[in-house]
Amino acid sequence: MGTLSILTVCTHNRTRSVLMAALLEHHLAAHDVDATVTSAGYRHEGLPATPETVRLLAERGIDVGSHQSRQVTPELIDAADLVVTAEREHVVKVAVARRDAFARTFTLPELIRWAGVVGPRQSKPWPDWLDEIGSERPRASTYLGAEIGEVDDPTGRPLDVWHRTVDEIDQMCEQLAAVIR
């Protein structure tokens, strides 16, 4: 497989998907994984990342000051080997846009959970590893009612919630990078 293409998705593409993309890209590079990570959302295009997102990532040496929000499109979904979302609803929206994408679309906590069960990819072909990860997950018809982990949105919340959310996303992105390599 060549360069791995990952799309991160949240509602506005101004906080959670930006955090996931930046932190995942950082950790994948640290693990020498050849990957491109992009982000998108379901609201307005052309807006900057939230000031808190920019500041908290800058504290970690990551610059997202030039980020501009964009909308999820079928083309972005099709181009991604993996779609990582913040919420179950985002998984469903991706699957509605592209039915075949459900097998490669997970919330970040869900992906970490199943990767922990299956184990690192190592030399397994990417599609085989994803099939293993997805083999026990709820199917599309029961997905929204299932106990699937989500990434809480810190927007509008106190700074301690922001720090906790960024730390959680950072930890999960590091775990994901470690099992993908």
pLDDT at residue 1 in the model:
60
- Of all residues in the chain, what percent carry a pLDDT higher than 70? 99
Position of tokens 């927007």? 155
Calpha distance 47→67 (Å, rounded): 8
pLDDT at residue 139 in the model:
80
Position of tokens 């709820």? 138
Please, what is the average pLDDT of the chain? Answer: 95
What is the mean predicted confidence (pLDDT) over 92-96? 95
Beta strands in the chain (DSSP E): 4-9, 35-40, 82-85, 105-107
Calpha distance 62→22 (Å, rounded): 7
Residues 6 or more apart whose CB falls under 8 angstroms from that of 32 comprise: 181
Residue 97 has pLDDT above 70, yes or no: yes
Termini Cα distance of the chain: 12
pLDDT at residue 92 in the model:
94
Calpha distance 116→119 (Å, rounded): 5
Query: Whole-prediction pTM value?
Result: 0.96
Which tokens go with 113?
A: 């959970």
Instruction: Name the architecture of domain 4-180.
Output: 3-Layer(aba) Sandwich (3.40)
Calpha distance 28→38 (Å, rounded): 13
> pLDDT tens across 20-70, in order?
999 999 999 999 999 999 999 999 999 999 999 999 999 999 999 999 999
- Torsion (CA) 132, 18, 165, 84 in degrees, nearest 10: -10
Residue 145 has pLDDT above 90, yes or no: no
> pLDDT tens across 104-113, in order?
999 999 999 9
